[in-house]
Amino acid sequence: MSSREPKWLRDAVFYEIYPQSFLDTNADGIGDFEGIIRKLDYIKELGCNAIWLNPCFESPFGDAGYDVSDYYKAAPRYGTNEDLRRLFDEAHNRDMHVLLDLVPGHTSTEHKWFKKSLSPYRNEYTDRYVWTDSVWEEPQGMGCIRGISDRDGSCAVNFFSHQPALNYGFYRPQRPWQQPMDAEGPKATLEELKNIMRFWLGMGCDGFRVDMAGSLVKLDEESRGTIALWQNVREFLDKEFPLAAMVSEWGEPDKSLEGGFHMDFLLHFGPSHYNDLFRCEEPFFSDRGKGDVSEFVNKYVENYNKSQRKGLICIPSGNHDMDRLARSIKGENLKIAFAFLLSMPGAPFIYYGDEIGMRYVEGLHSVEGGYGRTGSRSPMQWDDSTNAGFSCAPKEMLYIKQDESGDRPTAKEQMEKDDSLRSEIKRLIAVRRSSEALGNMGEIEFVYAEKNSYPLAYLRTSGDEKVLVVINPSSVEAGFECELETAGCLYSLGGELKRENGRIVAMPNSACFYRVK
């Protein structure tokens, strides 16, 4: 990293907070900023020193806050702008950092910009969104809103029908209404994006996780326009906020890093094969031993090489859009999965509750656009008191129904047990921090990742330090030929490695980190 980039990212371990479900301090059934502040010490004690806060701006919450109605105002249900500023301050007092979730691609239909863009008379917001010239013409490849005002045109949407797409221009315009990137409307949208970032960075946030970062410029198949847009933003940040951290939801690190982002998320959809590991019929981390890690590794190496072998590809335990890790990975294999997640390059991201093995709550009706994702967004389970310590509100007022199982995991119980999942994750984070090679910026070389085979082995390197990681989630011993000479065990779960005739053999359901001579 250059001197202008935030050095804290080298050591960052993120904790993702879905604010609705974290801790309710005013008994309205919904989490709030004060709840997050009260639990900062819990997050730090786990070993996490950075937070990704899901959208917390004013919103009608048709899509859990990813439908913003005012980028400059905190959602009142969480607190005030001043409360959010205090959250930044309290985090900084603990040497922690906070990224806000920035949604630059669309707003809610409730946003004043959109309401003004509905007018048939030209105004400063006429070109703020992607509108066709005729209500009879749909924007190709995108859904649309139409027939809701006297303006003649259809407005493109990015996802749900209440999320009109903001206009950053078209890389290769093909229709009269498709404005080029340098038209006044797209330029004004980009400048407003900078103003939003300027406002919150001035308030004390440390940067942004950017939603759908690769989708802003339309008809941009090779992403050249979108890369140029983010380079423009990077230039602005370098001048005014050079230490602002930028993490993209893009899934193509070579493009996002060229655009000026510091790190990129590995997406759970598309060609990453990420969910071959955790969320498929036969995940690699199941003890059945029928999974396949090879396609994931092939794609990871491809992206790793494209991004100049920089350890900047972040692999989350999960997030608000995925099934809970514990829905498909069970028992000790949850610990083994985290041994993998916490020994890979890039900044780790732990989704709230994954550290205690919170379950996907089955059979829930959709809440705030969650649909099938709703079961992964249930309130945090803190202790064995009313509502698992999440809220003093009556149960029926809770934002989402909780896991009501008698054996539901809680943070309190897991903190008290040395052999719990949370205690193992805490140990793993400490081991990661004890080794430069295992850290965010260490290099990686895969030693064994064969098709339909176990174990998975890779070498992490930083300078002269080398660490061999061997992961075997299967219920039987698994080995591979290896000439590397080990020189001491940094970490083991499920038993240490054996050497047999030039082979390394991993115990069933095990994970080991060894220094290499």
pLDDT in tens, 348-379: 999 999 999 999 999 999 999 999 999 999 99
User: Which option is the CATH number for 7-104+186-432: 3.30.470.10, 3.40.250.10, 3.20.20.80, 3.40.50.970?
Assistant: 3.20.20.80
For residue 7, name the pLDDT band (cuts at 50, 70, 90): very high
Give the DSSP letter string of 345-390: SS--EEETTGGGTPPP-TTPPP-TT-GGGGGGSPPP--SSSGGGGS
Question: Residue 3: what pLDDT?
Answer: 39
DSSP, res 495: -
CA nearest to 237, candidates 191, 270, 197, 267: 197
CA nearest to 429, candidates 358, 510, 509, 343: 343
Please state the rounded mean pLDDT for residues 204-227: 97
Distance CA 141, CA 157 (A): 10
Strand partners, 468: 459, 514
Question: Residue 68: what pLDDT?
Answer: 98
Distance CA 348, CA 187 (A): 35
Question: Residue 2: what pLDDT?
Answer: 41
Question: Residue 4: what pLDDT?
Answer: 63
Question: Residue 311: what pLDDT?
Answer: 61
pLDDT above 70 covers what percent of the chain? Answer: 99
The pLDDT tens digits for 218-237 are 999 999 999 999 999 999 99
Q: Which two tokens stand for residue 448?
A: 């064994």
Decide if pLDDT at 1 tops 50. Answer: no
Distance CA 154, CA 156 (A): 7
The pLDDT tens digits for 132-147 are 999 999 998 899 999 9
Distance CA 15, CA 396 (A): 28
The pLDDT tens digits for 460-481 are 999 999 999 999 999 999 999 9
Question: Residue 308: what pLDDT?
Answer: 79
* Angle (nearest 5°) at CA 113 between 107 and 115: 100
Strand partners, 503: 481, 500
Q: Which amino acid belongs to residue 1?
A: M
Distance CA 119, CA 113 (A): 11
Decide if pLDDT at 113 tops 90. Answer: yes
Please state the rounded mean pLDDT for residues 492-504: 95
Please state the rounded mean pLDDT for residues 426-451: 97
Question: Residue 394: what pLDDT?
Answer: 98
* Angle (nearest 5°) at CA 337 between 483 and 419: 105
- Rounded mean pLDDT of the chain? 96
CA nearest to 209, candidates 252, 242, 245: 245
Please state the rounded mean pLDDT for residues 447-465: 97
Q: Which two tokens stand for residue 225?
A: 């326009």
Distance CA 7, CA 376 (A): 32
Decide if pLDDT at 313 tops 90. Answer: no
Question: Residue 266: what pLDDT?
Answer: 75
The pLDDT tens digits for 388-435 are 999 999 999 999 999 999 999 999 999 999 999 999 999 999 999 999
- Residue whose token pair is 């301050």: 89
Please provide the size of the chain in residues.
517
Please state the rounded mean pLDDT for residues 325-351: 97
Q: Could you tell me if 341 and 473 are in contact, meaning their C-beta atoms sit under 8 angstroms apart?
A: no
CATH architecture of 106-167: Alpha-Beta Complex (3.90)
CA distances from 127 to 110, 178, 496 (A): 17, 10, 62
The pLDDT tens digits for 182-197 are 999 999 999 999 999 9
pTM of the model: 0.97
CATH dotted code for 444-516? 2.60.40.1180
Question: Residue 23: what pLDDT?
Answer: 98
- 268 or 459, which is more confident: 459
Structural domain boundaries in the chain = 7-104+186-432, 106-167, 444-516
pLDDT above 90 covers what percent of the chain? Answer: 93
